[in-house]
Amino acid sequence: MWSCRLLGHRYRFRSEGREMLWMCERGCGAGGAKSYPAAADAARYAHAFDRRDSDDLGKRAPLLGLLPLRAWRALRRSQR
């Protein structure tokens, strides 16, 4: 796929038993697997690797650079 060649693969991680599996989300066929001694290890690593930077947008933001985003998040939290 051209998008993977230009932008790189977008891997999604999951675990099945003692194996952690990954596949490209764009459907180009790239992927792989790795075995771990315990199923809990595979699940832990799959969960850690499957995180997106956009999921944490505004949580680790610089104080001044993203001040409006921090304020919006604080306002949204206070409304709940």
Give the angle subtended at the CA of 62 by the CAs of 61 and 64, to the nearest 5°. Answer: 125
Mean of pLDDT over the chain: 84
The range of the structural domain enclosing residue 45 comes to: 1-49
Residue 5 has pLDDT above 90, yes or no: no
Apex 59 CA angle, 67 and 43, nearest 5: 165
Q: Are residues 44 and 13 in the same domain?
A: yes
Same domain, 25 and 40: yes
Maximum average pLDDT range among 16-20, 24-28, 47-51: 16-20
Number of domains comprising the chain: 2
Q: Does 28 share its domain with 3?
A: yes
At residue 68, the 3 state secondary structure works out as helix
For residue range 33-63, what is the model confidence (pLDDT) as tens digits? 999 999 999 999 999 998 776 666 556 656 5
